[in-house]
Structure 1
Amino acid sequence: MPLTVEEMSDRFEIQDLIVGYCYAVDSSDWDALDRFFMPDAVIDYSEMVGVSGGLQEIKRFLAESLTPILAFQHAVSTTQYTFNGDRAQTKTACYNPMTVSNGGKADTLVFGLWYIHDFVRTAEGWRISRLYEQKCYSMNVPDWLAAQLPA
């Protein structure tokens, strides 16, 4: 069935939120996350790094945990959408290479994951109400870092 103009607009707006989240994280612009998430959003990184919490808690976690990372980049693609009135859910593939340093030696590793987002339509437009990161694969994770991550 063809999409309506409103459905296409909703998809573009939601895709902009997903990409905006990635760019905010990749540029360490933690305050920018406020533009994408509901104030009471739940962000669940428990499968990837063992942390889950509210927006302010996660902003602090990201600022602390990503500071030692030399470089990282989130690339998203192949988003599936499900709409139910003023609520939506997406599942998006994410490819996340990172360069980490351990005693002067740099390692580049890759995480493949699924972003599962819940969205709510507000007077200001769509906002993320929940983000869940689901593990898919990892490559070249150094033993010292793998020991710190959930099994």
Structure 2
Amino acid sequence: MMSQQQLSDRLEIQDLVVQYAHIIDSKTFDELREVFTEDAHVDYSAFGGGVGNLEETITYLKEAVADAIFPNTQHLNANVHVTLHGDSATGRVMCFNPMEMAMPDGHRQVFFLGLWYLDEYRRTADGWRMCRREEEKSWVFNAPDFMNL
């Protein structure tokens, strides 16, 4: 049976996962400093994206997910599987990610990504934070040909 602390830890981590998705979809990328540790490592390479520390990731997202390129996105998370190890934890989080892309000819194309987030979390003085997030590709549907996903 889980202790109250374990239940609380799991809920805090699930809230962190939801907060991340909200930040990405609202394009308020500077708020990622409230989700990640300062020494975090983020790897978006499964879909051709950036790999780096927190500040590099924020810079990358501001350029790559700008409104002019991706006017609308949704990161829908499910199956949040968390394994607690005291003041650290690991997670595997399913994500269904519809994206609307502004195409060079002026129309917009909607495509879908299926992925897993492979996460590491750490308890800090400010609560639980992600210290590592890596995307694992599951599937792609209707992506523009030039994206090579």
Give the TM-score, by structure 2 length: 0.94
Question: Partner residue of 2:58?
Answer: 59
User: In 1, Cα distance between the equivalents of 2:6 and 2:48?
Assistant: 34
Aligned length: 146
Question: Partner residue of 1:73?
Answer: 74
Question: Partner residue of 1:88?
Answer: 89
Equivalences for 1:1-151 in 2 at 5 Å?
A: 2-67=1-66, 68-102=69-103, 103-146=105-148, 149=149
Q: Look up the equivalent residue of 2:143 and give its one-letter code.
A: V
**1:4 shift after superposition:** 1.1
Distance 1:97 1:91, change over 3 A: same
User: In 2, Cα distance between the equivalents of 1:116 and 1:32?
Assistant: 20
User: In 2, Cα distance between the equivalents of 1:13 and 1:48?
Assistant: 28
Q: Deviations over 1:104-129 (max 9, x none)?
A: 12110000000111001112211110
User: In 2, Cα distance between the equivalents of 1:123 and 1:55?
Assistant: 18
User: In 2, Cα distance between the equivalents of 1:34 and 1:59?
Assistant: 9
Q: Look up the equivalent residue of 1:89 and give its one-letter code.
A: T
Consecutive aligned runs of 4 or more in structure 1 exceeding 3 Å deviation: none
User: In 1, Cα distance between the equivalents of 2:101 and 2:116?
Assistant: 22
User: In 1, Cα distance between the equivalents of 2:11 and 2:42?
Assistant: 22
User: In 2, Cα distance between the equivalents of 1:88 and 1:78?
Assistant: 16
Q: What secondary structure is seen at the aligned counterpart in 1 of 2:58? A: helix
Q: Deviations over 1:93-148 (max 9, x none)?
A: 000000112111211000000011100111221111000110000100111222xx
Q: What secondary structure is seen at the aligned counterpart in 2 of 1:43? A: strand
User: In 2, Cα distance between the equivalents of 1:122 and 1:87?
Assistant: 9
Q: Look up the equivalent residue of 2:87 and give its one-letter code.
A: D
CA RMSD of aligned residues (A): 1.0
User: In 2, Cα distance between the equivalents of 1:144 and 1:124?
Assistant: 42
